[in-house]
Structure 1
Amino acid sequence: MARPYDEYKDPPLRRTLAEAEAKLEARREIAIATAPSYVIGDLCQRLAASALTAPKAVTYDP
């Protein structure tokens, strides 16, 4: 069964956003009350939909 944001599970943009989110939380600059995977997945989806990022950034390329 597919989960929300599975298509954004491991592209470069997700890794970059996850690293930024982890650093901001570690420094207590932000607090996320829901699963970070949902927040980061939503950000990836919104950036891809608005064409604010290159398609290569939101596709998995091992």
Structure 2
Amino acid sequence: MWSGTVGGPLRLRSGALVDVGSASFSVPGVVVCRYRGDGLLTAHQDFWDLATVLDQAGVPVG
């Protein structure tokens, strides 16, 4: 679970900004990491559902 409070407007894929104030959210997600042979983290990518965050922030989705 990833949770927190939005600190400002969210930018959608369209480029539009959605002001959600200081809305709190809790959304399931996955983090994919890549490590070198010596254990050093070389890359990571986060996957989570923006629609869930927007719904919890009270922004109409759909």
Higher relative contact order (CA 8 A, sep 6+): 1
Q: What TM-score, normalized by structure 2, do the two folds share?
A: 0.24
Task: Look at both structures and tell me which one has the larger radius of gyration over its CA atoms.
Answer: 2
- TM-score computed with the length of structure 1 as normaliser: 0.24
Higher helix share: 1
Greater strand share, structure number: 2
